[in-house]
Amino acid sequence: MQRWLQWIVLLGMVMHTANLSAQRIVAECTVEYKVQPDSGWTEKNGDNSQVPFNGVKRIYIKGNDLRTDMESQGFLQSMIYDKSNQLSVILRVIGTNKFITRLEGSDWQQELKKYDSIQVTYLNAYKTIIGYDCKSLAIKLKDGSEYLIYYTTTIAPSVREFELAFKDVPGFVLQYIVKQNNRKVSYTASRISFSPVPASRFDIPSSGYRALKK
């Protein structure tokens, strides 16, 4: 009986190792997510009329460099993150106005504290997104924000921090729904490309932006 139990434990370890080894780390890619907030969200059109929110989020990964672009009508917010040097820069373009915010050192550490003590619950819901079989989990932050996440274990990004809440997710997040202050926003991957990303995508502008504190 004891030997039988030893074989079961050994088999479980082998299967777990096989699953980990089968996961491919993606060090270069572009992913586009369709952004769908709940029905109450609107934004200004070119003629200042209110129209339903229609946004796109793109992430670019190249080695330890990351860029995210969140774009909607008349608004673009980008985050450029250098994982090696723990440096994050946020760029905002609102109409003709451009702003830059740098997060490094103690400022960056303060930002990371928001994601301490994350509560993770693995769920039994599954779906297929852009051809990848996905598992699910729920995350709750200490500020009360909640995430419902669908991720594939087939691939994993070399930089998981395109959302800091994803830093411990064991795969690539292809859909997530954020609930905060009774509002919901869903982000669903619509395409993924493994073509090379130009290094210039991660250049931090040295002029043309007004500096702002976080």
pLDDT in tens, 149-169: 999 999 999 998 888 899 889
SS3 content of the chain, % helix, strand, coil (to 5): 15, 50, 30
Residue 5: its pLDDT value, please?
41
Residue 104: its pLDDT value, please?
82
Residue 33 CB-half CA count within 13 A: 24
Percent of the chain residues topping a pLDDT of 70 = 83
Residues contacting 127, CB < 8 A, separation 6+ = 134, 136, 150, 175
Q: Which of these CATH numbers, 3.40.50.800, 2.50.20.10, 1.10.260.40, 1.10.760.10, describes 23-211? A: 2.50.20.10
| Strand ranges of the sheet holding 55-62, from the earlier edge strand across to the other edge | 119-129, 132-140, 146-152, 172-180, 183-193, 28-37, 55-62, 65-72, 75-82, 87-94, 97-103, 210-211
Separation of alpha carbons 156 and 148, rounded Å: 18
Residue 115: its pLDDT value, please?
86
Which sequence spans correspond to the domains of the chain? 23-211
**4-44 residue pLDDT tens:** 444 443 444 444 444 445 899 999 999 999 999 886 655 55
pTM comes to 0.83
Angle at 20 between CA 117 and CA 196, to 5 degrees: 90
